[in-house]
């Protein structure tokens, strides 16, 4: 069971240090825990979580080793910093920054080639869901990905991200099972995961963990979700 906290554009180095010092003290055996801070906070997280089983991952990575790509960071740079993995293709990257299935594929491939662990995100919008296009959208997004020992897929229905609207456990299970039928890889669920709904979501047979957004910013709520994963 994997629980990854996506901090998005929150928690600078000082806040990251405080969080990681607290996280070190938690008893979380029995669950794989990952924190995904902003780029500027990765070094602090790596340093303070060194010697623990808690991994640090970035929120994005470029597909080239180096070059004139202002604002981007390469897989080699992340590896040099001591980062374990990266998120790729989050819906906010697709929605606000022009990420496409093609660029997701290139980023995933480069990260895996460099030895990083990858959480690749897929999911439908509210309009696509209403039109009954969930499986078609997932099939298209997954078509550019191939199984890899270091690849995990995150099902994140866009209509449930940051909205407070959570997918029902039944829908999370159905979508996760479909994703596994397309690409052989573990599937975690992302979309308004909270301590109050984590246990039911994580109890689904094809849900292998959670990609947690807002609830990962507070140590108490994040560790509560981790403990729900341990019990599931």
Q: From the CB of residue 122, how many other CB atoms can be counted at a distance below 10 Å?
A: 26
Cβ neighbours for 88, distance < 8 A, ≥ 6 positions apart: 60, 61, 104, 107, 108, 111, 118, 119, 120, 121
Q: What is the DSSP letter of 40?
A: G
The partner residues of 211 in beta bridges, in order of sequence, read 4, 190
Does the active-site annotation cover 135? no
Residue 158 near residue 124 (C-beta atoms within 8 A): yes
- Tell me which of 62, 90, 99, 124 is the catalytic residue: 90
State the catalytic residue, choosing from 92, 99, 124, 156. Answer: 156
User: Which residues have CB under 8 Å from 5's CB, separation 6+?
Assistant: 33, 34, 35, 36, 212, 216, 217, 222
**Could you tell me where the DSSP H helices lie in 125-216?**
126-130, 134-142, 169-182, 195-202
51-79 burial: b if 16+ Cβ within 10 Å, else e: eeebbbbbbbbbbeeeeeeeebbbbbbbe
137 in Cβ contact with 154 (< 8 Å): no
The residue to which tokens 């099972």 are assigned = 177
Active site residue 156: yes
For the annotated catalytic residues, the residue numbers are: 90, 156
């Amino acid at each position: 069971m994997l629980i990854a906290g996506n901090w998005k554009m929150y928690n600078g180095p000082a806040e990251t240090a405080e969080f990681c010092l607290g996280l070190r003290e938690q008893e979380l055996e029995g669950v794989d825990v990952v924190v995904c801070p902003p780029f500027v906070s990765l070094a602090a997280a790596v340093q303070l979580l060194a010697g623990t089983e808690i991994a640090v991952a970035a929120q994005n990575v470029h597909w080239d080793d180096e070059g004139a790509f202002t604002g981007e960071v390469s897989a080699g740079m992340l590896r040099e910093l001591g980062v374990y993995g990266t998120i790729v293709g989050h819906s906010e990257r697709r929605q606000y920054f022009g990420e496409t299935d093609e660029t997701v594929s290139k980023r995933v491939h480069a990260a895996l080639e460099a030895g990083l662990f990858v959480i690749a995100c897929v999911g439908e919008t509210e309009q696509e869901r209403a039109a009954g296009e969930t499986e078609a959208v997932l099939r298209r997004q997954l078509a550019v990905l191939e199984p890899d020992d270091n690849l995990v897929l995150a099902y994140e229905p866009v209509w449930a991200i940051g909205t407070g609207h959570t997918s029902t456990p039944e829908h999370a299970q159905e979508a996760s099972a479909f994703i596994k039928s397309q690409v052989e890889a573990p599937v975690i669920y992302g979309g308004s995961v909270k301590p109050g709904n984590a246990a039911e979501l994580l109890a689904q047979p094809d849900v292998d963990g959670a990609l947690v957004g807002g609830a990962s910013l507070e140590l108490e709520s994040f560790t509560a979700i981790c403990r729900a994963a341990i019990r599931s």
